[in-house]
Amino acid sequence: MGENKDRMLAGEWYLPDDPELDADTERRSALCAAYNANGGAAPGRRAEILAGLLGSVGEDVRIRPPFQCDYGRYIFIGDRTFINFNAVLLDAAPITVGADVQIGPNVQLLTPAHELDTERRRAGWERASPIIIGDNVWLGGGVIVCPGVTIGENTVVGAGSVVTKDLPAGVLAVGNPARVVRALTTTLIPGTE
């Protein structure tokens, strides 16, 4: 790996305008275009494209096109996860999505952050922090998850919320910034006890 890519993956300041990162972007661009153009293709073909694009893809994962990402290879998705239309996963740092996760339309998982210093920002410096989404999480439509956030398992984030800090397991969070409004309880569906 190149020094710039090493810095990116280590969460250090890096310049995204780099030949090695550009090659990853071209690879991602071609695979995303193929996936998005093949939205009506057989599930086997869509799964094959995802397997080539993402770091790992669990069983029975469904992602509705269009879908966009930075590199793809740093995204890891667990079994039976569903991602709705217009998802944007910017994976300059790893994005780990657990099993049985439901992601609404227009959701953004954003690992990069830009420099606040005007000169360094103009020069293009950024750094990225991983995002972790636990098992059985539901992100409502339009949710934005910011760099470095972990969302605990069984948590629900209301539509349009902006998650700037970690959320514990088993809560309902809403707003901008997202705030926990209550704990969630497990309800058994009749006949499943």
pLDDT tens digits, the chain, 193 residues: what are they? 578 889 999 999 998 888 888 888 888 999 999 999 876 566 788 889 999 999 999 999 999 999 999 999 999 999 999 999 999 999 999 999 999 999 999 999 999 999 899 999 999 999 999 999 999 999 999 999 999 999 999 999 999 999 999 999 999 999 999 999 999 986 655 655 5
- Residue 133 annotated in active site: no
**3-state SS string for the chain:** CCHHHHHHHCCCCECCCCHHHHHHHHHHHHHHHHHHHCCCCCHHHHHHHHHHHCCEECCCCEECCCEEECCCCCEEECCCCEECCCEEEECCCCEEECCCCEECCCCEEECEEECCCHHHHHHCCEEECCEEECCCCEECCCCEECCCCEECCCCEECCCCEECCCECCCEEEECCCCEEEEECCCCCCCCCC
Global confidence as pTM: 0.92
Q: 45, 62, 114, 121: which one is catalytic?
A: 114
Query: Domains in the chain, ordered, with CATH?
Result: 3-177 (2.160.10.10)
